[in-house]
Each structure stands twice: as C-alpha cells, then as structure tokens.
Amino acid sequence: MIKDHESVDIFIGVDVGKSNHHAVAIDRAGKKLLDRALPQDEAKLRAIIKAVAGKGTVLLVVDQPSTIGALPVAVAQSEGIMVGYIPGLAMRRIADLHPGEAKTDARDAAIIAEAARSLPHTLRSIVLADEQAAELSMLCGFDDDLAKQATATSNRIRGLLTQIHPALERVIGPHLDHPAMVELLLKYPSPDKLRKAGQARVGTLLGKHAPRAGKRWTADVFTALGEQSVVVAGTGAAGIVLAQLAGMLKQLRGAREELLEQVEALVEAHPLHQVLTSMPAVGVRTAARIITEVAGKEFRSSGHLASYAGLAPVTWRSGTSIRGDHPSRKGNKTLKRAFFLSAFAALKDPLSRAYYDRKRAEGKRHNQALIALARRRCDVLFAMLRDGTFYEAPVAKAT
C-alpha cells in the first residue's frame, strides 16, 4: 500500500523493457497526460520525469522494480518522487478486467497507471534501496545460481557412474558432497585408472582429504570394483567427461565458499545481524535471505509476514463437500525456502524438536510438521524484528 496516495496528482505507469520502456501518465481525474516510449537512458528518463513532476505530486509505478526496471526506479527516487510497483499476479488479474486481448507495451502501461490511480491497495511501495541489502540480494542470487549448477553437475556425475559402473556409483555417489570424492574423480576418473592406482594410493589420497572415513571408503571402492568385470561401451569417454565434471564441481564449490565469505561480511555489518542470528538455526545464508526479502518492507502482523512468505494455510470451503486448510502455493518462494530449511536445521534445538514431535503425534506428515514449525518461527521472528530484541527461549511454566 502506498502512503499519501490521496495527495498524488499524477500517476505514471511504466511497462519496463530491456532496451525501451513505455510510460503512460494520467491525472487524478483519469485524463491522459503522457503516452510515449522511454529509452533505457538516464538523461532522457530524468528529463521526462522532471517535465511531468512540474505539474504536481507524482507517483511512478512499474511492473518490475528490479533487473530491467532498476534504472527507472533509481532515477525516479533520485528526483524525489514516490515509486511503487504492482505485483505480477495482480497485474494479470487487472489486465483481464480491461477490454481487448492485445498485448502491447502501451496497453500495459495504461493499465498500470489506471491501477495506480483507482486501485491503490494493489500497489507495493519501493523504499530507497539499502546498499547492504542490494548487495546481498545480488550475491545471494548468484549463490543460488552456483548451487543449481553444482547440483546439476553432481547429478551428471552420478548418472555417468551409474551408466558405466553402478556398484562404483553406490559408493561414490552418496558422498559426492565431500571434497575427498571429488579429488578421487579428478585423479582417477575411471574404473581402470582406479585399479591401476591400487588400493594403497587411493587410500592415501582419500585419507588426506577424509582422515576418518578414508580407509572405509577405500575398501568400499575396491569392493565395488570387484563386483563388475565387464567394461561398458563408452567407459573411456566417460572417464574423460568425469574428470572435467569433477573439476567443474570443485570450482563451483570453491566459488560458493568465496562468495559465502563476502556474504558473511555484509551480514555481520548489517544492523539486523545480531537479532537474526540470535535465533537457533539462523545462519549466514538464512540471515542474508531474510534481510534481502524482509528488510525495508512493512508487515502489520505476524500473519501478514507468514502470508507474504507463503507459510499461512489457505482455507478451502465449498458447501459441505470441500473443507479444510491447505498449504499455500503462493507467497515469496525464496523466503519460504529459507524458513523451511531453517526449520529443518532447527530440529537439533530441543524446543523446536519438541514442537515438531508434537505435530507429528497429531498425525501430520514430515513436511507438514516442518511447515508448522517454520510458521511458528516466523511468528517469533516477526516479534523480534518489531521490537528489536534478541531471541529468548521460552521458560517452561511451573505446574
């Protein structure tokens, strides 16, 4: 919701694009004042915004506040005018109410401007970007990309091992997250090279990177090698590919470690760092995600925050045939994932584990109990952010 909406005289709707935007400006009576393309250029954007701003208080609304829409938002903010955005789902629903099926930039910009004028409840405000939050958002997004690439590479390695030597995959595959197995595939990427290296050399390599499990894994590797005598077609080429994939996986994980150091430094410098990390199972990555997705936004209640994160249950009722509450499929998926993974990690905390066990005893499945725990932690986090207080474990009441 945009504050001081009643004081706005001119509403500018901007349909953003990669190289060009389209803007439509209307006054409070709905009269069109501007309808033209806007280049992705600061000087020209600033000139057009200044020309319109001279006619009264201006509210600029975009359909994408980041990525390709970041420059218009930054220019508008630097000019001191109010900026908002309309969520994609609301935009699609409002567009269905307007006549015509054409999909043009001019039509979308006009719809955004009209929604800004007549449907203020559909808008979300955009505050001046917190530099730390902006940097965290970019770094976390890149970290997500690296994580996806690492998962895909790991799956590709397991797929190739399954194709040429299933028994070997059953030993190496489950431990690919350990650096020792990646180093093993880098140096001995095929069953033939493992046999030629011998158990002693393989044991030395694994023991160097995994002192505790190295001997056991070495024995398991050579036991698996003995279970298959035939050579599957393509094994030689697979060895070449496996070495390349292992190198990629090592590089991706190294990049994530370097990135984590930069993210940790930004999180520690943020004012919310101590508040967030005082809560059990809120680490660097979770705190970073909470900062990027929550900081700067206003939430009226814990239920509002839970709904935004997609953790609030949705009630389905229709007569007497359909009844019950179901998990929401909407909300901020990035924040929901952060809360969910944090709840999973919190199972080591006695209080969180007790709550989880209680939900399981009520008949809830594992994921349902975790979502319930995530919702409870969301409520606690809301109170912590609202009051600026650290986490305090509840004290059991005397019977």
Per-residue pLDDT of the chain (399 residues; tens, 9 = 90+): 566 788 888 999 888 888 888 989 999 999 998 888 888 888 888 888 888 888 888 888 888 877 788 888 888 888 888 888 887 777 888 888 777 777 788 888 899 999 889 988 888 777 655 567 778 888 999 999 999 999 999 999 999 999 999 999 999 999 999 999 999 999 999 999 999 999 999 999 999 999 999 999 999 999 999 999 999 999 999 999 999 999 999 999 999 999 999 999 999 988 889 999 999 999 999 999 999 888 767 788 999 899 889 888 766 665 665 555 666 777 888 999 999 999 999 999 999 999 999 999 999 999 999 999 999 999 999 999 989 899 988 765 444
Residue 176 host element (H or E): none
Which of 264, 294, 323 is the C-terminal boundary of a domain? Answer: 264
Residues 286 and 371 in one domain: yes
Tokens coding 69: 């829409």
Which of 102, 128, 154 is the C-terminal boundary of a domain? Answer: 128
Residues 319 and 359 in one domain: yes
Residues 330 and 361 in one domain: yes
Q: What range does the domain containing 356 cover?
A: 273-387
Q: What is the DSSP string of 223-256?
A: HHHTT--S--TTHHHHHHHHHHHHHHHHHHHHHH
25 close to 34: Cβ distance less than 8 angstroms: yes
Helices (H), the chain: 42-53, 70-78, 88-96, 105-118, 131-164, 166-172, 179-187, 191-209, 214-225, 235-269, 273-277, 284-294, 302-308, 333-345, 350-361, 366-387
Q: Does residue 397 belong to any structural domain of this protein?
A: no
d(CA 125, CA 28): 19
164 close to 238: Cβ distance less than 8 angstroms: yes
Q: Give the per-residue pLDDT at 26.
A: 92
Q: Does residue 395 belong to any structural domain of this protein?
A: no
| Residue of 12, 131, 25 whose CA lies nearest to 63 | 12
Q: Does residue 53 belong to any structural domain of this protein?
A: yes
Task: State the CATH number of the domain containing residue 42.
Answer: 3.30.420.10
Q: Does residue 168 belong to any structural domain of this protein?
A: yes
Residues 139 and 220 in one domain: yes
Q: Does residue 196 belong to any structural domain of this protein?
A: yes
| Residue of 193, 191, 173 whose CA lies nearest to 181 | 173
Tokens coding 209: 């990177």
d(CA 301, CA 46): 37
Q: Give the per-residue pLDDT at 398.
A: 46
59 close to 19: Cβ distance less than 8 angstroms: no
373 close to 350: Cβ distance less than 8 angstroms: no
Q: Does residue 144 belong to any structural domain of this protein?
A: yes
Q: Give the per-residue pLDDT at 187.
A: 96
232 close to 165: Cβ distance less than 8 angstroms: yes
Burial class of residue 164 in the structure, from the number of CB atoms within 10 Å of its CB (0-12 exposed, 13-18 middle, 19+ buried): buried
Residues 70 and 114 in one domain: yes
Q: Give the number of other Cβ atoms within 10 Å of residue 239's Cβ.
A: 20
Q: Give the per-residue pLDDT at 80.
A: 84
Residues 47 and 106 in one domain: yes
Domains in the chain: how many in total?
3
Give 333's contacts (C-beta < 8 A, 6+ positions apart): 310
Residues 151 and 256 in one domain: yes
User: Which amino acid belongs to residue 380?
Assistant: V
Residues 157 and 192 in one domain: yes
Q: Give the per-residue pLDDT at 189.
A: 96
Which of 94, 128, 162 is the C-terminal boundary of a domain? Answer: 128
Q: How many residues are listed for the chain in this entry?
A: 399
Q: Does residue 396 belong to any structural domain of this protein?
A: no
Residues 217 and 279 in one domain: no
Read off the pTM: 0.74
Task: State the CATH number of the domain containing residue 231.
Answer: 1.10.287
Q: Does residue 398 belong to any structural domain of this protein?
A: no
| Residue of 151, 171, 155 whose CA lies nearest to 253 | 151
Residues 122 and 161 in one domain: no
Residues 201 and 247 in one domain: yes
Residues 150 and 259 in one domain: yes
Sign of the Cα pseudo-torsion (353, 357, 359, 364, in order): positive
Q: Give the per-residue pLDDT at 96.
A: 80
